[in-house]
């Protein structure tokens, strides 16, 4: 996003302004199209439950009844409807809700089968997560493959650069217009400049929050932070000690997370006692006896005797709780709540909950939605501003300041982010190389037209 303002006076302040304007322009050019896609899909995902309720109502809602069938009957109905291995069960929290069972099929994909718990009748099946899982995968760029998922970290880091440089460009330098008000009308470029600047400064905090709290899902930063905080004692609690272990979830993880973010790399024990091992009915009976609230997600191991896990993840992170059951006799071998997380894991889990619009109810959703809508307004207004000032046939990047010392202030913003987020640092090197090439090409052709105020 760009905030081209009337050019300040020449000298150090003017050169500093040009440096920030140029990097603000390039930051927007690099990430705005992807950021707008992520804002669109993220805005939709905020209302996941509402959208699922509309799209899949026949699968989710059942007539209330006084009787109920055992969980194993639900599993039998689900595997008859979709042959494969049961990997997860989410029992209903209300008498008018169906049970959800996730089946891993022979081709390795997951399908969610919905079963009426009162008569064990399969109501139908969908790819696990349905339409909102597709939206989520587009949001994380995972749908295009692991390499594209790396862009999440790059985009989030450059969003911070974009907002920080934008605030510097917005900072009042005398004229009152464009600080908290919008001048002129849509036909004038100053209208779009003011609209862009005022929107950016008021929504910038929400946008940066979304960028920072989206980092735990990144392929590099998220994994490393989870490991580092755990090793330092600031992350998840220690897993129950055991010689053998089984990691959470199947190779193709269900759309409903089996455990909170902080516990997703936890290994849980496998006790290889003789016997038939824990069965589904016994597992749910043990979980209910332990007082775990519904709806929880129960993960079923692939081998008898391996540990089972059940996790309750409500909107408020303070109420989350995860149980681990011995796979042989069903006893609870660990009971981990939010209070046992380290300070870093608590902060990250809280940020994830707010990011997804859960922690503070409808107001939380609306504030996050405001940030998503602001991103689109910033993108559109930046495009209009660029269109109105562009020299024909040129990119029309803001002019480069002549002095090099002005880049020290810019480096104070960019370099810490490059250190904190490694992929941002790599992209910074690529941008610097691109800027060098562009300057070399520009030096060989007549100078571009000056940007009009």
pLDDT in tens, 61-113: 999 998 999 999 999 999 999 999 999 999 999 999 999 999 999 999 999 99
Summarize the confidence of residues 114-143 as an average pLDDT: 95
List the structure tokens of 45: 């995902």
Where is average pLDDT lowest: 96-110, 126-140, 293-307? 293-307
pLDDT category, 2, cuts 50, 70, 90? very low
- Checking DSSP bridges between strand 85-90 and strand 99-104, what pairing results, if any? antiparallel
Among 420, 414, 415, 376, CA closest to 199? 376
Distance CA 190, CA 5 (A): 8
pLDDT category, 394, cuts 50, 70, 90? low
Among 100, 88, 95, CA closest to 68? 95
List the structure tokens of 32: 């705005």
Whole-number pLDDT of residue 26: 81
Summarize the confidence of residues 218-237 as an average pLDDT: 81
For the cut 80, the answer to whether the pLDDT of residue 176 exceeds it is: no
Other C-beta atoms lying within 10 Å of the C-beta of residue 393: 7
pLDDT category, 256, cuts 50, 70, 90? low
> Edge-to-edge strands of the sheet including 85-90?
121-127, 110-116, 99-104, 85-90, 297-299, 305-312, 321-327, 332-337
Mean pLDDT of the residues in the chain: 84
pLDDT in tens, 206-220: 999 999 999 888 778
Every domain of the chain and the residues it spans: 63-117+236-341
List the structure tokens of 419: 């250190």
* Percent of the chain that is helix, strand, coil (3-state, to 5): 50, 15, 35
Residue 208: partners with Cβ closer than 8 Å, 6 or more residues away: 159, 160, 163
255 vs 76, more confident: 76
The pTM (predicted TM-score) of the whole model is 0.85
Summarize the confidence of residues 408-432 as an average pLDDT: 81
The three-class DSSP label of residue 19 is: helix
Q: Is the dihedral of CA 229, 232, 236, 241 positive or negative?
A: positive
Where is average pLDDT lowest: 258-262, 345-349, 439-443? 258-262
List the structure tokens of 327: 């796979």
Cα→Cα distances 223→137, 218, 229, 322, 377, Å: 18, 7, 10, 21, 33
């Amino acid at each position: 996003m760009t905030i081209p303002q009337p050019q300040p006076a020449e000298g150090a302040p003017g050169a500093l302004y040009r440096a920030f304007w140029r990097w603000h322009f390039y930051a927007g050019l690099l990430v705005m199209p992807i950021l707008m896609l992520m804002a669109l899909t993220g805005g939709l995902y905020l209302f996941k439950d509402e959208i699922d309720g509309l799209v899949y109502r026949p699968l989710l809602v059942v007539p209330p009844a006084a009787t109920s069938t055992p969980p194993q009957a639900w599993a039998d109905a689900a595997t008859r409807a979709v042959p494969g291995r049961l990997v997860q069960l989410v029992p209903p929290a209300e008498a008018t809700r169906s049970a959800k069972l996730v089946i891993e099929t022979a081709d390795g994909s997951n399908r969610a089968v919905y079963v009426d718990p009162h008569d064990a009748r399969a109501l139908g099946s969908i790819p696990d997560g349905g339409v909102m899982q597709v939206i989520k995968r587009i949001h994380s760029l995972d749908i295009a493959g692991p390499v594209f998922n790396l862009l999440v970290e790059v985009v989030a880091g450059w969003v911070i650069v974009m907002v920080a440089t934008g605030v510097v460009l917005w900072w009042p330098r005398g004229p009152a217009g464009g600080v908290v008000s919008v001048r002129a009308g849509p036909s004038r470029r100053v209208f779009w400049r003011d609209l862009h600047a005022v929107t950016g400064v008021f929504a910038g905090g929400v946008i940066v929050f979304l960028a920072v709290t989206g980092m735990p899902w990144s392929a590099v930063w998220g994994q490393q932070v989870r490991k580092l905080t755990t090793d330092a004692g600031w992350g998840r609690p220690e897993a129950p000690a055991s010689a053998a272990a089984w990691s959470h979830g199947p190779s193709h993880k269900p759309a409903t997370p089996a455990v909170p973010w902080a516990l997703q790399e936890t290994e849980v024990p496998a006790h290889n006692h003789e016997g038939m091992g824990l069965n589904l009915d016994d597992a749910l009976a043990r979980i209910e006896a332990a007082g775990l609230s519904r709806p929880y997600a129960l993960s079923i191991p692939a081998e008898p005797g391996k540990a089972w896990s059940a996790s309750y993840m409500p909107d408020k992170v303070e109420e989350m709780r995860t149980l681990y059951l011995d796979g042989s006799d069903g006893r609870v071998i660990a009971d981990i709540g939010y209070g046992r997380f380290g300070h870093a894991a608590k902060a990250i889990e809280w940020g994830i909950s707010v990011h997804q619009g859960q922690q503070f109810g409808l107001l939380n959703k609306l504030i996050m939605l405001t940030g998503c809508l602001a991103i689109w307004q910033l993108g559109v207004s930046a495009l209009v501003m660029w269109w109105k000032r562009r020299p024909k046939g040129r990119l029309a990047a803001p002019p480069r300041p002549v002095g090099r010392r002005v880049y020290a202030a810019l480096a104070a913003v960019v370099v810490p982010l490059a250190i904190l987020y490694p992929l941002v640092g790599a992209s910074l090197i690529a941008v610097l190389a691109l800027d060098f090439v562009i300057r070399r090409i520009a030096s060989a052709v007549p100078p571009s037209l000056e940007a009009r105020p």
